[in-house]
Amino acid sequence: MSCKGIGLHSGREVGLCILPAPENHGIRFARADLPGRPVINARFKNVVDTSLATVIGGNGAIVSTIEHLMAAFAGMGIDNALVETDSYEVPIMDGSAAPFTKLLEEAGAAEQDAPRTYFRIHEPIRLEDGDRWVEITPADTFTITCTIRFASAAIGEQSFSFPVEADFFAKEIAPARTFGFLQEVDFLRVFGLAKGGSLDNAVVIDGEKVINESGLRFPDEFVRHKTLDCLGDFSLLGIPILGHIRTHKSGHAFNHAFLETFFASRRSWKTATLA
């Protein structure tokens, strides 16, 4: 299954192809445009930048803006796949995970023979920085609860709780688009970034209002997208979670910092398979 779209920062057309992979392969990205076709494993240890998007690197190559595709894999329960791309960016598509989710739904998933391994949380883990925090607590299923707060009246404070299950993800989370403020987009373009950004692939806020003529897909689309981003970021643990993640005013960089705390808190979790 394949698709084409615009790279958010390069503004160039990007081709992407998702291929099946064997058990215990995980999610890996192959740069088909580079000599030797370097492959990068989509794991926490390979994250090299979180300033504007989640970027992984290895073997002399990088792949940027992977979070929406990674959220689609995690939300749809896909553990193993090889993603081939002909650029350093994953295409932004419409700014959500819906196009990738549709590709996965159309292709279908094959059940594999190896047992599925989980991180089972048995003690809370928490990281705080001022009024922002991320924590994970024990639970028998995987749930994410996000809270965001922005000064703009277009967003304000919003919270959303999401049981990580394929049908709910596809309908209620995947269509939520990335968002930003008009002045931020203008600033990025001064430095040659966000060349592919437009009202076709983002919700844009100017002052106190959304300027997209079509408006929002959900009244709380902003926090739903932050929940999507969180799912994509935590998928870089490499295996799914049995626990409840709660975030307050977090983003890619702080989520990544929490992953460091998670792996340093070895006594708070164990790996297990479900019968």
- Catalytic residues, by residue number, are 252
Reading the block at residue 107, the tokens are 């292709």
Q: How far apart are CA 237 and CA 252, in angstroms?
A: 14
Q: Which of 254, 229, 230, 259 is nearest to 46 (CA)?
A: 259
Q: Which of 38, 24, 51, 118 is nearest to 83 (CA)?
A: 38
Listed in sequence order, the DSSP H helices in 43-137 are 67-75, 98-107
Phi and psi torsions of 252, nearest 5°: -55, -45
- What burial letters (b/e) apply to 39-69, b meaning 16+ CB within 10 Å? ebbbbbebbeebeebbbbbbeebbbbbbbbb
Q: What is the DSSP string of 229-260?
A: HHHHHHGGGSS-EEEEEEEES--HHHHHHHHH
Q: Which of 187, 209, 203 is nearest to 94 (CA)?
A: 203
**Are the beta carbons of 225 and 172 closer than 8 angstroms?**
no
